[in-house]
Structure 1
């Protein structure tokens, strides 16, 4: 059979919406099974009525879950005292159910901490300029590598530091300087070339064969000389340019080296400040919300558990139902008290009526005795027994159940319900007090951990102070040496300037001689060429000596400085391995194993035994690795271990001590249960039976009795007796109108109130039975599954606190392992220093000797050309009748003024 019902209810955040039109199947046992519904949770606060024929059938409404549910069988089990497990009441486990029905409830996730930015690095002056500039001297380095191919002589450096050179060391030096000694020997030879060629002018020249085209040869020589002079001009400009560039680099080197050392000091301070920030201020930022949540357990732990209880058991509905029952019980008790009062009043009227009827009965008996014999049969026919009261309220007064309802502790029930409400509403406060000691212990351990991290950061203060002191000492030692080189550089620049000007002067003389020769003033051109050659002869020796000295200084600078500073990708043979050894050797200020000491480790971590080669530092800083990992600062303070919460055993142990016990919590105490049971027993009264007893007639038919007395009085022969009977009839009618009518009114009032009481008791008893059933289910759930629910929410609360610490741990580990603490500035400082020393200083110095040698070679090539021109001009002068000496004397007297050329008699050109 099918029964029309409402549709499936829609659940919105635990609240039900009444369904509309659905179909339920009714089986033979008269239990309902929702075939397509899911049983979700018990809602015993409302009954849905279904009509079937003339009768009425009630079905407790259940929100549905994934199984069939038969309320009748469970109510039967509860009434018989058979225990029902939690899954039968509520379905699946509380953990899965809470997860399925908790979209926004529960402890919730921790707030994402916005850690403040790390302290910014200062502006480093040494890294301001561009590290890349065009290097026109690049290929000169290849020449130096050929001259001096040997790597840096580290063993000789150590011998020199010991100030104990020996014979093998001297031989080793000579072996290394073979290339420069060869260059020195070659320079000496080449320095004699020009003077030798010039001295050839002092010897007698062989008579040249007659030339068929002397003017063509002259023009050819002049053209060659002009080309060579153009190349010589390029070389002289290169000399002056490289000399000036080298001077600028050397002049700015002392200040730049000081800036590099200052920037290194600032970088170490900035890096240490960042690490200290991670250990102190970042921890404060993480613990602030953690301590706030620890102090707010009432809202973050207590209220979620309270909400879970409501979601799982509808505890709020049970308490509301109990409040309604208490209010209804109060009304019932008040109504019962009114009924009892009315019954007492009615019983008093019954007594008055009985007295009245007894008096009438005695009068009637007296009249019957006075009847004469002939009237005796008529008098005996008078029914005196009709003067009686049939109505009585003794069944009300004697009803123990009504008296029980009257005397029931309604106020005690209301107080018990209020107490249950207080237990429920005070659950968050109870949980807050229960976990207070454990939470305070966690907060105390967090403060202790803050002190430990602050103590760990003190070690970095020592790094700042010691590294600052050492770097300042290094600057005080190194910068004065550069200042002294700066003073020497002034004289080097003067010598280089003079050398360049000498070449320019020679170039001017040769250009002037060429111009004179082209203009026909051969007599002035010859002495000019001779003067230029004399200057070249005298200056070439000095220039070759200067070029060798410059080559020696620049070559050793390139080999011992620039090749060490070269990037291993550019120069893998030298690389940073030799540089690391040189730095460790020069920087070592202590005795020990020379192969294991590290100047960088001693400078930064104050532990020279830490393997920290300078080459590794530069390589990792070029790759933008972190300062913490590059400089092995974990040997000072292992930050990753210090912030690893898995090692914070005290905090973890105290967090696990945050425990909530709901198994022993009595929401509905024995007092409430006893009061409800008392109320239930009182409500079991059969009011219908009492009302049916009161439904009978109050008295016999007194009006008929009065009429009967009047009829008999008319038939009596004795007038006196007849008058007495008429008087009794009048009194009977008067009693009927007064006493009996009042009694009838009280009776109707009692019946009305009993009917009203019956209408109230039935639904109240039904609701009471449901509430008792729901209470047992709720208390069963709390006793058997409250621990798992509390444990789940407690774990979420603990996880929330741990999440703040995890965020701190992740922030610190990410910060010390990403670009925010990169040591890239170290590489930039090194690159800038290399640029300053090599590109700005040593490379121009090498360019100077290269251009000087280039000019000398040009002069060597120019010298024979000039000699040929001098010879040509001399021969041409002889043909004109003027000797070379006369031409020279005449030119000297006349200031080498040009004379008109002789007429050309034969010009083949």
Structure 2
């Protein structure tokens, strides 16, 4: 009970405070992260007895058999309510303690009867009674009885030895654990100091994180141009940018079309000149061949036939194209030049600039409102600081630190006395174990000497010295047992009653929480208070604050605020209401007014320029006529093939000027092909591709321009009708982001203070260390194991005495013995023979 009241004193100074516990981490949006500093404690929150724990459990099972009754909650409540008056509840107390009482009574009977029995046994032995006569009667089953007594005594001695070992182990374990008490106390006190010293700094840390939040918010406010302006710009971009990109592409297409028209027109003029030159060259060749065919040899058969064939083929040496009939593109070029007098690209760039200036416009128009918002945030910081100052923790912590110091002084002063007394207890326990060890050693020596020295062929009066010594050891063991067993049993009874009740009434109910349920009984500890703990903490006993709930919450490492329900004295939720603190900020963002209605993507001049381009006539050009002419061969016949054929025919002619002239003309035709036809073919192929591209660009020009103008009108209308809603949407999103930082921060502050700051596990650990570890594990468990082992050994001394006395007759040297005579008639007689030796 004193330990539990100390726990109350531990909690009282923190009745209206908050302190910081271990690690807490909260990560918000946009990388805003808060993390409480980690607090490390030395004391382990669990205790394991080690290998000896199995022996402790065995004793617990024995106590459960002796004391099977459930924890007497009602009895304890009534006893506490009546100020420990046991008179009215003695019957129930006796019923609950009946198992322990019976065992204690049996132990006391043992204490009173064993000295009396030993005294009577000694007198009887002195009178040669009770086996005191040094005469052993011969029995037919004597050998069996000797072996039976030997085995029985050996088994009993083993049981006694096990009990003695339990006693030695328990005695040593208790001393070892007492030596650890100072370290355990220092560890718990250090953890409590860490718990207290770290709390104010960590509360300040939580409140100081407002600076981090404000820095993040100020950064976003200073970057309103890319954040808010950029957000508005990105919302409008999908509708606006494609239109401007199309107009920009159309401006480039106008320039490319002019270049293409100029290229086609100039190339066409060159082709016409090249075709005229080709016609002249072919006419010259044709005339030269005809002059050669006027040679007199052409009248002589068969040359005449060849000449006629050549003359008939000369009609193939002609131009195959009608390029001269193709119309000129000068008019279309003039129209495009008129269109290009207006710089459409420059107009588009102005549209881009007007649209891309939105972020800059937003920044310029929000300078004043951003300044107001920053002022509101600074004011919010002052409010947060005031909340920290309103938590009354510093004074309470300094008082509680005094409790810790006083407790430490008390423990250190009394630990010396405890260790001194424990040394006496350890010495006494060692003496007790040694007395039992002495008894069992006498028995073991008696068994060893008696068994080893026994000669079955020797008569009782002739037994050897070793055998006789074994019997004497057994009787010495019996005598020592009678002298000290009642003292041992007295110690066993006292430790059994104390240790058993402590285990059943303190240790077990503490571990299963029933002890806390007793303390939580309304009006128990104070007849005027319904809940004692809330009466101490809040001076309001009607608040449902129980020891069991506080202990379990501390065990789960919850914060003091939640554990002690401190919202009844200081409601942090009311003071950290974001709507209260951020109301002005929200209003500032609602008053955010950005005007960007004067965006013009393309002015009237640009529109007119596009219309003029669509009516420039390039889409009405008959490109197929040009393509048909450009797709023809420059000549009607392949000049190379014609030259080869002419040369072959000349080879069939006889040698002379005709043959040579025709070969020269064939060579001239080849020269014309290489010098004029091939370049002409290449130029026609190039201009063919240019015309195809120009045809592709001009295809559907009016529809393309109409679509661009329609998209332009749609985008411009979108800017006029929707830009205000986009601004409101993005402004709201931007404002919510800024406020969200503080919502996240205040939520983290609330969670930290209510759930994580001053996580009171060290308090629960300290209470566990005092009750569960020090009292129960360090003291009660070894004490119970000690009386269990010593009691077991002492109880087995009783049958050991009986068997030792019986067995000693078979080992000791007798004064007289029975001598048997076999009669002739079959009758058996005997007489007593006296030995001359003395025993």
Judge conservation of contact 2:43–2:191 (CA < 8 Å) in 1.
yes
Correspondent of 2:39 among 96, 100, 121: 121
Are residues 111 and 532 of structure 1, via their aligned partners in 2, closer, same or farther at CA, if it must alter by over 3 Å?
Answer: closer
Q: 2:646 is matched with which residue?
A: none
Equivalent runs, 1:193-272 vs 2, <5 Å: 193-198=113-118, 199-203=120-124, 204=127, 205=129, 210-267=138-195
How many residues get paired? 591
CA drift at 1:637: 5.5
Q: Does the 8 A contact of 1:431 with 1:660 survive in 2?
A: no
Which residue in 1 is equivalent to 2:702?
Answer: none
User: Which structure ranks higher in relative contact order (CA pairs < 8 Å, sequence separation ≥ 6)?
Assistant: 2
Structure 2 partner of 1:564: 509
Instruction: Verify: 1:552 aligned to 2:479, yes or no.
Output: no
After superposition, residues 67-146 of structure 1 pair within 5 angstroms as 112-127=30-45, 130=48, 134-145=53-64, 146=66
**Partner Cα distance (2:439, 2:812) in 1:** 21
**Partner-residue secondary structure (3-state), 2:738:** helix
Could you tell me how far 1:432 is from its partner in structure 2?
A: 2.6
Whether the aligned pair in 1 keeps the contact of 2:207 and 2:384 (CA below 8 Å) is yes
Give the SS at the match of 1:120.
coil
Tell me if 1:185 matches 2:185.
no
* Alignment partners' CA distance in 2, 1:791 and 1:541: 97
User: Is 1:436 the equivalent of 2:376?
Assistant: no
The correspondence of residues 872-891 of structure 1 with structure 2, limited to 5 A, is 872=810, 876-879=814-817, 881=834, 886-887=838-839
Q: Partners in 1 of 2:811 and 2:122 — Cα distance? A: 13
Post-superposition shift, 1:566?
1.4
TM-score, structure 2 as length reference: 0.58
* 1:189-217 Cα deviation digits (max 9, x unpaired): 11244434433242242788642243443
Superimposed CA distance per residue, residues 755-813 of structure 1 (whole angstroms, 9 cap, x where no aligned partner): xxxxxxxxxxxxxx999999998776555433222212212212332343454456567
Partners of 1:131 and 1:831 within 8 A in 2: no
Matches within 5 A, 1:619-658: 619-622=552-555, 629-635=562-568, 638=571, 643=576, 645-658=578-591
2:723 maps to 786
Call closer, same or farther: CA 1:559–1:310 in 2, change over 3 Å.
Answer: closer
Residue in 2 that maps onto 1:838: 776
- 1:543 and 1:775, CA in 2 relative to 1: closer, same or farther beyond 3 A? closer
Contact kept in structure 2, 1:662 and 1:786, CA below 8 Å? no
Give 2:738's aligned residue. 801
By how many angstroms is 1:584 displaced?
9.8
Contact 2:220 2:227 in 1 (8 A): yes
**Is 1:852 aligned with 2:790?**
yes
The structural deviation recorded for 1:583 is: 14
1:403-418 matches, within 5 Å, as none
What is the Cα deviation at residue 857 of structure 1?
A: 0.9
Mark the CA change 1:627 to 1:773 in structure 2 (over 3 Å): closer, same or farther: same
> Higher helix proportion, which one?
2
SS at match of 1:138: helix
Give the distance between the partners of 1:579 and 1:131, measured in 2 at CA: 28
Q: Distance in 1 between matches of 2:204 and 2:76?
A: 39
Does the Cα contact within 8 Å between 2:586 and 2:735 map onto a contact in 1? no
1:285 CA drift (Å): 3.2
> With structure 1 as the length reference, what TM-score do the two structures score?
0.54
User: Cα RMSD between the aligned structures?
Assistant: 5.3
In structure 1, C-alpha distance between the alignment counterparts of 2:730 and 2:431, rounded to whole Å: 90
CA distance in 1, matches of 2:496, 2:590: 79
Q: Which residue of the partner structure matches residue 288 of structure 1?
A: 215
Instruction: Tell me, in whole angstroms, the C-alpha distance in 1 between the residues paired with 2:411 and 2:61.
Output: 30
- Structure 1 counterpart of 2:328: none
| 1:122, distance to aligned residue in structure 2 (A) | 1.6
Aligned to 2:545: 612
Deviation at 1:116, TM superposition (A): 4.6
Change (3 A) 1:772 1:216: closer
> Which whole-Å deviations, capped at 9, do the CAs of 1:397-442 have from their partners, x for residues lacking one?
xxxxxxxxxxxxx9xxxxx999999976665444334333333333
In the TM superposition, what is the alpha-carbon distance from 1:527 to its structure 2 partner?
3.7
Give the match's secondary structure for 2:532.
Answer: coil
- List per-residue Cα deviations over 1:458-478 (Å, max 9, x = no partner): 427446445444444444456
* Equivalences for residues 728-767 of structure 1 within 5 A: none
Q: Deviations over 1:288-332 (max 9, x none)?
A: 2222111221222234435555654569959999xx9xxxxxxxx
Label 1:223 to 1:303 Cα distance change in 2 as closer, same or farther (>3 A).
Answer: closer
CA apart distance, 1:581: 6.5
Q: Which residue of 2 aligns with 1:903?
A: none
Going from structure 1 to structure 2, the CA distance change for 1:787 and 1:630 (only over 3 Å counts) comes to same
CA contact (8 A) 1:113 1:285 kept: no
Q: Report the CA distance shift for 1:316/1:813 in structure 2 as closer, same or farther (over 3 A).
A: farther
Following TM superposition, by how much is the alpha carbon of 1:497 offset from its aligned partner in structure 2, in angstroms?
0.9
Give the structure 2 partner of residue 491 of structure 1: 424
Measure the CA separation in 2 of the matches of 1:646 and 1:514.
92
The answer as to whether partners of 1:274 and 1:821 remain within 8 angstroms in 2 is: no
Specify the alignment match of 1:596 in structure 2: 531
Q: Distance in 2 between matches of 1:601 and 1:419?
A: 77
Which of 467, 470, 476 is the matching residue for 1:531?
Answer: 476
Q: Which residue is equivalent to 2:804?
A: 866
TM superposition shift of 1:187: 1.9
- Equivalent residue of 1:112, what SS? helix
In the alignment, the residues of structure 2 paired with residue 556 and residue 862 of structure 1 have an alpha-carbon distance, to the nearest angstrom, of: 30
- Over 3 Å counting, the alpha-carbon distance change for 1:883 and 1:288 in structure 2 is farther
Q: Is the 8 A contact 2:366 2:594 kept in 1?
A: no
Aligned to 2:40, the other structure's residue is in SS state: coil
- Superposed displacement of residue 608, structure 1: 7.3
Structure 1 residues 658-737: aligned runs within 5 Å: 658-662=591-595, 665-666=597-598
Structure 1 unaligned blocks of 5 or more: 1-109, 325-409, 411-415, 569-573, 586-590, 684-768, 888-909
User: Is 2:224–2:363's contact at 8 Å kept on the other side of the alignment?
Assistant: yes
Question: 1:119: Cα distance to partner?
Answer: 1.0
Tell me if the contact between 2:468 and 2:813 (Cα under 8 Å) persists in the aligned partners: no
Q: How far apart in 1 are the matches of 2:499 and 2:236?
A: 87
Does 2:384 correspond to 1:447? no
**2:199, 2:757 within 8 Å by CA — same for their partners in 1?**
no
> 1:245: how far off?
1.0
Deviation larger for 819-828 or 471-480? 819-828
Change (3 A) 1:137 1:593: same
Aligned partners of 2:349 and 2:99: how far apart in 1? 108
Distance 1:515 1:319, change over 3 A: closer
Q: Deviations over 1:626-660 (max 9, x none)?
A: 66544435456555555553454424533433422
CA–CA distance in structure 2, aligned partners of residues 216 and 614 of structure 1: 66
Q: Is the 8 A contact 1:272 1:460 kept in 2?
A: no
Paired position in structure 2 for 1:95: none
Q: Does 1:305 align with 2:232?
A: yes
1:853–1:443 CA distance, 2 compared to 1 (3 A): same
Is structure 2 residue 518 aligned with structure 1 residue 578? Answer: yes
For residues 76-122 of structure 1, the C-alpha deviation after alignment (integer angstroms, 9 at most, x for no partner) is xxxxxxxxxxxxxxxxxxxxxxxxxxxxxxxxxx9622525321122
For the residue of structure 2 that corresponds to 1:876, the secondary structure is coil
Q: Could you tell me how far apart the structure 2 residues matched to 1:666 and 1:115 are? A: 41
Consecutive unaligned residues of structure 2, counting only runs of 5 or more, are 1-27, 252-341, 454-463, 613-705, 818-832
Mapped to 2, the partners of 1:515 and 1:140 lie a distance apart of 33
> SS of the residue aligned with 2:181?
helix
